[in-house]
Amino acid sequence: MEVRDFNGEGRWSAAQIVARYHDYAGELGVAAPRDVRPDVSESGACRWVYPVMDRIIDGIEAQDVACAQIGVEFLEEDRGFVFGAILKSNTARALRRCRVLTEEQTDRIRRRIVRLYATGIVPREFAQYLKLIRRLGVGPYWQEILAAEPRNHFASRARRFFETRFDRDGCPLPDQRQQDPREQ
């Protein structure tokens, strides 16, 4: 039977992610660990193993701190994945909505986004990364943002985002879309 596995290899294989999730669930005190096994489909002589990150993203949306830990690791990963841009974008969106992030996870996310920006690496999913850091704040990394020189058009757009969404001290400005137009 031909197997088409849309997960990564090694540390990012479906089996390794599931095992890591259960380790983190125990370490972080998750009361009811989730079933994060990937969806599998068979047709004739072919079997498809879908990305387990879809299940992890669902867990992040459900406020599972162990899933959030894997999500943070996924954002930190440099190598490419099948459906990687979509999965990383969806992971960042889910983390933005997650209210159970630890201080360590928050700092790792901030550090990752600022370092990508500072080196000029602005992948497709970076728009979601910017929304995520706006929600989390830039923390102690504001000076790195100011010191970075945008190296390409996409990094320049990210620079404009930082300049228009944060004040001179790196604090998020109020969201203008949520204000009553009569108050402006």
Using CA atoms, how far residue 100 sits from 60, 76, 158, in Å, is: 9, 19, 27
State the Cα–Cα distance between residues 62 and 54, nearest whole angstrom: 13
Pull the structure tokens for residue 30.
Answer: 């998750």
3-state class of 159 per DSSP?
helix
For residue 29, the surrounding DSSP H or E stretch is: none
Query: How many CB atoms are located within 10 Å of the residue 23 CB?
Result: 12
State the Cα–Cα distance between residues 120 and 148, nearest whole angstrom: 9
The full set of domain ranges for the chain reads 1-100, 102-175
Rg (CA), the chain: 18
pTM, 2 dp: 0.89
Can you give the pLDDT of all 184 residues of the chain as single tens digits? 898 888 888 999 999 999 999 999 999 999 999 999 999 999 989 999 999 999 999 999 999 999 999 999 999 998 888 888 899 999 999 999 999 999 999 999 999 999 999 998 888 899 999 999 999 999 999 999 999 998 888 899 999 999 999 998 888 888 765 544 444 4
3-state class of 94 per DSSP?
helix
DSSP 122: -
